[in-house]
Structure 1
Amino acid sequence: MPLKIVAAVAAAAFLSACTVNPYTGEKQAGKAATYGLGAAAVCGLAGAIDSGKHARNAALGCGIVGAGVGAYMDVQEAKLRQQLEGTGVRVAREGDNIRLIMPGNITFESNSYNVRSNFYPTLDSVGEVLAKYGDTDLRISGHTDNTGSRQLNETLSQRRAASVADYLSSRNIDRSRMQVQGMAYDQPIADNDSEQGRAQNRRVELYILPKAV
């Protein structure tokens, strides 16, 4: 009986964690939802070994939580992709984490850490989603190219990340959710030997992370 119940609940959680591919219209499971189904099977075995009521309840809860994290992040990812389409901000999914890559040329004036006023609506859209899905932590990292001194780039990258955090805070995002860091030129995503590569490296990244439980 416990295994049947666990299987039914796990299947229901798995299906609820599926999302519709916006390009094909087909229903598909998020990666974390798949992991959640596996967690439900493992927890179900634990419940079957111990026939006590508490063990069965713990097994059921374990499976649901495993699938729920994936579903929670899947919905946010889909909403962010919808809101940020055409803005120049790239949305990347990395396991249970979501990464927003904000190119410096659309976010800041050259050699400035003040957010461009025409970028406000984009950050407003990000803030709207972050406010709705509050069970996440945020890591905001500033990045530069390798032009100039390390001290200059460390300061600039830190201030740019802080400017994004300050703006989101003004949109009712709890500042305690945010970790701000300046990475200078230590984490390039392109070749600094070309102007095109340096332009890609000048960016702010916002990681959306499930809260640790």
Structure 2
Amino acid sequence: MKRMLLTSRYGLYAVIAIAFMASCASSKKSTSQHAYMNEQYKELKNILNEADVSIIKDSLKVIFPNNVLFASSSDQLNDKIKPTFEHFADVLNKYNKTKILITGHTDNTGAADYNRELSEKRATAAKQMLNTDKVSNDRMFTWGLADRDPIDTNDTEAGKAKNRRVEFVILYDVKN
């Protein structure tokens, strides 16, 4: 009986040790993911002067204002942004352990269907431009949000201009 209890105790210690090591490995992985995303954040912050680059927990957000990317009521990217997108793509390709969600946004002017379609076309145009610069389609997802997620008021022209934008949310791909 005493021997059985002793064996059970060692078994329990082994289970606890394995669980502890697994949690440490998970912690190290989480720490390395955080470091990976921080390095990417620093590079993006340095090269994307026209965009607002922020880090939120373990993801990055890059917001290009509408006037930088598109003419008003247009889904055609401005030619002036192409060199910036090339640099953006270079960083995305360097840090290829990520997925990118590209969301298009509009202000609340115009019909809801038009705004939804325009926001989707803008997100798709941004994706196509990055794909031209060799960012894999498998890593990018688009979503048109129309006027559903404003970052400023739609009561002023300045607020509306801020709401007309394309955002890139860069997430660590946990499968890597």
- Measured against the shorter chain, the TM-score band is 0.7 to 0.9
Q: Distance in 1 between matches of 2:29 and 2:141?
A: 25
**Residues 51 and 188 from structure 1, CA distance in 2 versus in 1: closer, same or farther, beyond 3 angstroms?**
closer
Q: How does 1:17-96 map to 2 (within 5 A)?
A: 49-50=13-14, 58-84=22-48, 87-96=49-58
Secondary structure at 1:50 match in 2: helix
Q: Distance in 2 between matches of 1:167 and 1:72?
A: 25
Offset at 1:49?
A: 4.3
Show the counterpart of 1:158: 120
Show the counterpart of 1:132: 94
TM-score normalised by structure 1 residue count: 0.72
Q: Which amino acid aligns with 1:184?
A: A
TM-score normalised by structure 2 residue count: 0.87
Q: Tell me, which stretches of 5 or more residues in structure 2 are unaligned?
A: 1-11
Q: Distance in 1 between matches of 2:71 and 2:101?
A: 22
Q: Distance in 1 between matches of 2:143 and 2:20?
A: 43
- Choose 1 or 2 for highest CA Rg: 2
Offset at 1:212?
A: 3.0
Offset at 1:202?
A: 0.3
- CA RMSD between the two structures: 1.8
> How many correspondences in the alignment?
164
Show the counterpart of 1:189: 151
Q: Tell me, which stretches of 5 or more residues in structure 1 are unaligned?
A: 1-47
Q: Distance in 2 between matches of 1:66 and 1:116?
A: 38
The reply to whether residue 106 of structure 1 matches residue 68 of structure 2 is yes
**Residues 146 and 125 from structure 1, CA distance in 2 versus in 1: closer, same or farther, beyond 3 angstroms?**
same
Secondary structure at 1:179 match in 2: strand
User: Cα deviation per residue 1:46-86 (whole Å; 9 max; x = unaligned)?
Assistant: xx9437986565344223202101000000000101111xx
Q: Distance in 2 between matches of 1:126 and 1:105?
A: 18
Q: Distance in 1 between matches of 2:73 and 2:139?
A: 28
Q: Distance in 1 between matches of 2:132 and 2:85?
A: 11
Q: Which amino acid aligns with 1:117?
A: D
Secondary structure at 1:189 match in 2: coil
Answer 1 or 2: higher relative contact order, Cα 8 Å, separation at least 6. Answer: 2
